[in-house]
Amino acid sequence: MKSEFEESDELTKKMHVSKSGKKDVSDTLNKAKSEASEKTEDLKHGINKTKDKASEKTEDLKQGLNDVKQDILAEKEKLEKESEKEGVTPAEKVLNDIISRFKQGANSFTDYAIESGNKKETLVTPLVDVINRNDSITLIIDIPNVNKEDIDIGISKNSVDIEAKFKDEPDDDGNFIQKERNYGTVHRKISLNTEIKVKESKAKYENCTLTIELPKLVEDVTKMNID
């Protein structure tokens, strides 16, 4: 049997172990709390950073909208001044500008209406004749009031692109009552129904007429009647 001294010693050891275990648990809890606190701070910092970025983007968007608004107001004021100078309303000014650009064919040759008295007809400028032959296709195009150097021709296997640079519009205070001539740079694309020999094609500009000869890649076959 154990003596009272031995039992007392064992009890003391157990109490010491118990206190040591509680301290370890306490240290672990404190460490976990510290790590959780650090993560919470990191999360708060991340949220605040995101809010700041969102706020900056909102300010940028507001500034962009304000810039657009200022540009619109400036364009409106410019339109009103030009309209007053020409003696028309802003709506009439916009419509006149659209019709003017449309007729000029700034980016492409387009259909437009010419009105003179009771006569109205639709034209495509410049006027082009396409002649189909057995071994070639000939394009005859009227392009007045330009120099040969002001005409550019682009040819592919099944189309021809033409660009001509006319003089700019007269820069004065007058308004057009009728406008049929071409101004500025204009384009026209002519599609072909057969492939051509691009390298053998030829062009000639003479007396305001451009003539383009396009040899066919494959000649047309002529059918024969049997007697």
Residues 1 and 70 in one domain: yes
Phi, psi of 157 (to 5 degrees): -65, -30
User: Which DSSP letter does residue 194 get?
Assistant: S
Per-residue pLDDT of the chain (227 residues; tens, 9 = 90+): 555 555 566 656 555 555 555 566 677 777 777 778 888 888 888 888 888 888 888 888 888 888 888 888 888 888 888 878 777 788 877 777 776 665 544 444 444 444 444 444 444 567 889 999 989 999 999 988 889 999 999 998 888 999 988 887 777 777 777 777 777 888 888 988 889 999 999 999 999 899 999 999 886 666 667 77
Residue whose tokens read 């296997």? 157
Does 114 fall in a domain? no
Do the Cβ atoms of 82 and 96 come closer than 8 Å?
Answer: no
Report yes or no on whether pTM surpasses 0.85: no
Among residues 87, 107, 133, the one where a domain terminates is 87
For 137, residues 6+ apart whose C-beta sits below 8 A from its C-beta are 130, 131, 192, 194, 196, 214, 216
Does 225 fall in a domain? no
Does 182 fall in a domain? yes
| Longest pairwise C-alpha distance within the chain | 146
Cis before 126? omega within 30: yes
Residues 131 and 211 in one domain: yes
Residue whose tokens read 């802003």? 90
Q: What is the pLDDT of residue 155?
A: 92
Task: Quote the number of domains for the chain.
Answer: 2
Q: Name the token pair of 6.
A: 């031995």
Q: What is the pLDDT of residue 211?
A: 96
Q: What is the pLDDT of residue 18?
A: 55
Distance CA 155, CA 213 (A): 11
Residues 80 and 163 in one domain: no
Helix/strand/coil percent split, the chain, to 5: 45, 25, 30
Q: Residue 145's domain spans which residues?
A: 122-215
Does 97 fall in a domain? no
Q: What is the pLDDT of residue 3?
A: 58
Do the Cβ atoms of 111 and 127 come closer than 8 Å?
Answer: no
Does 227 fall in a domain? no
Q: What CATH number does the domain containing 182 carry?
A: 2.60.40.790
Helix (H, G, I), strand (E, B) or coil at 82: helix
